[in-house]
Amino acid sequence: MRHLLRLVATCALTLAVVEPPVSASQEGVGQTVAPAPSNSSTPFDQERALRISQSAIGTTPGDYAFLDRQARTVHLSDYRGKPLLVSFIYTGCFQVCPTNTRSLGEAIQSLTKIVGENQFNVVSIGFNQPFDSPQALRSFAAQHAIKSANWEFLSPDASIVERLTRDFGFSYAASAAGIDHVLEVTILDGQGRIYSQVYGDRMAPDKLGEPVRQLLRGTPMPQTLALSDIVDRVRILCTVYDPATGTYRYDYGLILEIMGGCSFFLVMLIFFADEWRTRRRLRGQASGRTAHAQNP
């Protein structure tokens, strides 16, 4: 079992990532050369990181306060009501975090085309404080062309980083090369509970799409439905992931089944309504004949 867990943690999940040292010549606008955090000096334990990450599923992180890219205060609870995707990054990284962020952006674009623009939110949290300031995060987002209206970059106070990362099951450690850390995206449901952990340096649309679609399928229908709500619900229910193209497509077989079911329901409704009208008319005629016989 120990060897199997090590294989899963090392090969399948791509958990531990060693960030290369950052030189002054690599600095981006608004970024500071960030030394490794001092929260740990022990080697990064991949198996333990996996266990910690998985143990967070089903829990509700605290309602932490952050500063967004404009230095405005926001709380984690501000994102309740919709699925929330959370990734941890640090702006002093010039290789893995940018690659992972771009991959996440591509997956989000694909997911948005299917479920709609306003169905979920995304936040990237800078965990290497005090270097991941609102300004540094703003520069990081701009450099990587992050323009999605539902994607924000958040800066926590250094005093809460340890508790924050523990609540999300996110592990990281100092190393001679920089920072070793888990590559994960945490998916929260509309009530703020951790629903799923998605691992890897390449975020395929189906890895993120399926947990989000599961959450959205369980969301109650709005009392007042607009046309856009109906279109979004059809997208959520009637699309499947196509591994050949790496995108979602409409499942026309399922659409035909739904249309057939709706047609059958409509026919049965018309049939019973006609039967009800016929019986009502016959009862009325019988009552009329009875009244006529009693009063010739």
Render pLDDT for 238-271 as a digit per residue (tens, 0 to 9). 555 566 666 655 555 555 555 566 666 777 778 7
The answer, yes or no, to whether residue 113 has pLDDT greater than 50, is yes
CA distance 242 to 150: 25
The answer, yes or no, to whether residue 272 has pLDDT greater than 60, is yes
pLDDT in tens, 208-237: 888 888 898 875 544 454 555 555 555 555
Q: Which two tokens stand for residue 244?
A: 């050949």
283 vs 172 pLDDT, higher one? 172
Is residue 273 one of the residues assigned to a domain? no
Is residue 59 one of the residues assigned to a domain? yes
pTM, entire model: 0.66
Closest of 125, 121, 123, 147 to residue 136, by C-alpha: 125
287 confidence band (pLDDT: 50, 70, 90) = low
CA distance 211 to 216: 9
pLDDT of residue 10: 41
Structural domain containing residue 48: 2-203+210-218
pLDDT of residue 125: 97
> Does a cis peptide bond (omega within 30 degrees of 0) precede residue 130?
yes
**Most confident listed range (3-7, 64-68, 100-104):** 64-68
pLDDT of residue 141: 94
* Contact (Cβ atoms closer than 8 angstroms) between residue 113 and residue 248: yes
pLDDT in tens, 33-92: 333 344 445 677 788 888 999 999 999 999 999 999 999 999 999 999 999 999 999 888
The answer, yes or no, to whether residue 121 has pLDDT greater than 70, is yes
User: What would you report as the CA-atom Rg of the chain, rounded to the nearest whole angstrom?
Assistant: 27
Report long-range pairs for 36-41 (Cβ below 8 Å, ≥24 apart). Answer: 36/174, 36/175, 36/178, 36/179, 37/127, 37/128, 37/161, 37/172, 37/174, 37/179, 38/174, 39/161, 39/162, 39/172, 39/173, 39/174, 40/172, 40/173, 40/174, 41/173, 41/174
Is residue 187 one of the residues assigned to a domain? yes
Closest of 203, 172, 219, 145 to residue 46, by C-alpha: 172
* Average pLDDT over every residue of 146-152: 91
Counted domains in the chain: 1
pLDDT of residue 53: 93
Is residue 279 one of the residues assigned to a domain? no
pLDDT in tens, 157-188: 999 999 999 999 999 887 776 777 788 899 99
Find all residues with CB under 8 Å of 271, minimum gap 6, and list them.
Answer: none
pLDDT of residue 162: 95
* Average pLDDT over every residue of 91-119: 84
CA distance 56 to 69: 27
121 vs 228 pLDDT, higher one? 121
pLDDT of residue 261: 61
Is residue 38 one of the residues assigned to a domain? yes
Is residue 109 one of the residues assigned to a domain? yes
Is residue 260 one of the residues assigned to a domain? no
Is residue 37 one of the residues assigned to a domain? yes
Angle at 150 between CA 225 and CA 119, to 5 degrees: 30
Closest of 22, 44, 169 to residue 91, by C-alpha: 22
pLDDT of residue 190: 93
Closest of 98, 82, 186 to residue 144, by C-alpha: 98
Instruction: Classify residue 48 as exposed, middle or buried by CB count within 10 Å of its CB (0-12, 13-18, 19+).
Output: exposed
